[in-house]
Amino acid sequence: MVAHQAALGIMPRSSSAVLVAVRGPRESPCLLDRRQLELVGEQLPAQAYHAAATLDLDEASRVIQQWATAASTAADRGITDVLSGPAKGYRVVGVGIVATVREVPALATVLRSHPLLHTAEGQLAREVLAEAAERARLPVHYLAPKGPHEPEHAELAEAMRHEAGAGARNTSWQPSRHLPC
């Protein structure tokens, strides 16, 4: 018996992410699971780079690394929980991260620019989530928040992108929206 395909979708935020598991096709996607992942607890700042902005470079680097370590643990746990729970029995073909990858300059440059603090925080969250997916041996596809994408499994990825939300204004991330299986 061939397992049905499923995909995971992730919409990152500064210190959290929404994780969905869907099976498709795009015309009639089925939501297997939706959950909020808290990447860091209350013991760490929600915005690592903002917290590091007033610190010397060594201390700033330490704060950011602590954040990344805690977020990695949470991302690993969240993906593992979905794979061993709601997505168990499905062949999960990949993870789509709804985000645009940004280049981040050196830490000293970032800490001197408020807009770059936001860019760096977003990129850090995206990297942590992508690395967790890779550790779970899942291919990662970045899905443009408002544009096309070309992953290997286009139909399922499109269904996942639709369910995961193609932008901040999309209501798909809200718990009240469920697609019956």
Q: Where are the domains of the chain?
A: 5-173
| 85: its two tokens | 């729970």
The whole-number pLDDT of residue 63 equals 98
Looking at residue 21, its amino acid is: A
- Looking at the predicted structure, is the pLDDT value of residue 94 above 70? yes
pLDDT at 30 over 80: yes
Phi, psi of 31 (to 5 degrees): -80, 115
CATH of domain 5-173: 3.30.420
| For range 58-69, the mean pLDDT | 98
> pTM of the entire structure?
0.82
| Structure confidence at residue 147 as a pLDDT band (50, 70, 90) | low
Reported as a pLDDT band with limits 50, 70 and 90, residue 128 is very high
Q: Kindly indicate the confidence band of residue 153, based on its pLDDT and cuts at 50, 70 and 90.
A: very low
**Cα separation, 6 vs 105, whole angstroms:** 36
Mean of all residue pLDDT scores within the chain: 84
Mean pLDDT of 171-175: 47
Which one, of 90, 80, 69, 91, lies nearest residue 136 by Cα?
Answer: 80
As a whole number of angstroms, the distance between CA 93 and CA 120 comes to 29
Element (H, E) at 98: strand 91-98
Q: What is the mean pLDDT of residues 89-114?
A: 94
pLDDT above 90 covers what percent of the chain?
65
What single DSSP character describes residue 73? H
